[in-house]
Amino acid sequence: MATLVRACWPGALAPRLVSTRLGFSFAARRRTTVGVSAPSSRAAASATALLRTWGYQTTSVQATDWTPQRPGRGVYYRAGMRRAALSLAGDLGLRAAAVVADEGAPTALTLSLKR
């Protein structure tokens, strides 16, 4: 399976991805939904395309539905999703400090692109 994925979507198993190094597999990403909260539809579309290339399922989080705890880009997660959150944040080039536990997040794993 890994060979097929690497051949069809080389970015999905790239060794440079933190998720690859942490062992958060493409199959695990396929079972993980990321809510995307962005200030514009353009930013949301760009993030969604990248996340889908890496294997994640995505859903849109409406701006009025939830407010992130911190300003800036971050990954918010509910219980049991810390490893997925750290993998996603690392893949996006975010520091571990941008990964925040939030039981009130709209999805189990939420990417906030709000500034």
How would you write the pLDDT of the chain (115 residues) with one tens digit per residue? 455 555 555 555 566 678 877 888 888 889 999 999 988 889 899 999 999 988 899 999 876 667 888 888 999 999 999 999 999 999 899 999 999 999 999 999 999 998 7
Beta strand pairing status for 109-112 and 74-77? Answer: antiparallel
The rounded distance, in Å, linking the Cα atoms of 28 and 26 is 5
User: What is the layout of strands, in order, in the sheet containing 57-60?
Assistant: 57-60, 33-37, 109-112, 74-77, 99-101
Give the CA diameter of the chain.
42
Question: Which one of 1.10.1740, 1.10.3470, 3.30.70, 3.30.1370 gives the CATH number of domain 2-112?
Answer: 3.30.70
Question: Which pTM was predicted?
Answer: 0.83
